[in-house]
Amino acid sequence: MNQTRRLSELEGAILSEVEHCGQTTAFQVRRAFADSFSLEWKGSAGAVYPAVRRLAQDGLLDASAAQGGRATRRLSITDAGRQALTAWACDAARATSSGVDPFRLRAGIWSLLPASERQALFRELDARIAGNIEEMEAHLGRMNTVERPRVALAIALQQSRRDLLADWADRDAVAPRLSETPAR
């Protein structure tokens, strides 16, 4: 019962999900993560089950014992859990940090690619992003209150990536330093 432990991002996401659903199982949380457009996690069993156990041990989740033959545990959030979730959600320092963005991280390298390769890459990136945005927009209407703002932000992110790609595509090539063809 470590009262003042800081929740990890995954733990916060799990608490969010349980809070929103009122009553769920670890399995359904996993599936929600796997189906999500805005979450990076695969909902891997090896991450979710231990995290749920930690949260239950700390009294943030209530994991009621199985009632039938099936080994299902119904999860619900406790008052302490709601408080921890609020504290986690209101952690302004963490909320405003820029996170790990695979696009941003790679963007620094792209100017070093030969122009033709860079242009081809930019076209592929743009096509993928466009498809991703379309997919997200198509599902926006059917999303719940928790997922919708996340996806709205994910769309905004992807849109700003597209804008930047378009911007860069217009500019002249910088002297390329990486000439090998990627071994994909």
Partner DNA sequence: TTACTCATGTAACAAGTTACATGATTTA
Partner DNA sequence: TAAATCATGTAACTTGTTACATGAGTAA
With residue 62 as reference, give the H or E element that holds it.
strand 61-64
Per CB under 7 A, the list member of 18, 26, 60, 133 interacting with DNA is: 26
Q: Which two tokens stand for residue 125?
A: 């990136």
- Cα 67 vs. chain centroid, distance in angstroms? 33
Stretch near a second copy under the rule CB under 8 A, chosen from 26-34, 46-54, 61-69, 170-178: 170-178
Stretch near a second copy under the rule CB under 8 A, chosen from 25-33, 51-59, 63-71, 144-152: 144-152
Cross-strand pairs, 63 = 75
Identify what 140 binds: a second copy, DNA, none; CB under 5 to 8 Å per kind: none
For residue 123, give every residue at least 6 positions away whose Cβ sits within 8 Å of its Cβ, in sequence order, or none: none
Q: Which two tokens stand for residue 134?
A: 């379309």
| 46-65: contacts with a second copy (CB under 8 A) | none
As a whole number of angstroms, the distance between CA 63 and CA 72 comes to: 10
Kindly write out the interface string for residues 66-105 of this chain, putting x where it contacts DNA by CB under 7 A and - elsewhere: --xxxxxx--------------------------------
Footprint of DNA on this chain (CB under 7 A)?
8-11, 25-28, 30-31, 41-42, 44-47, 49-54, 68-73
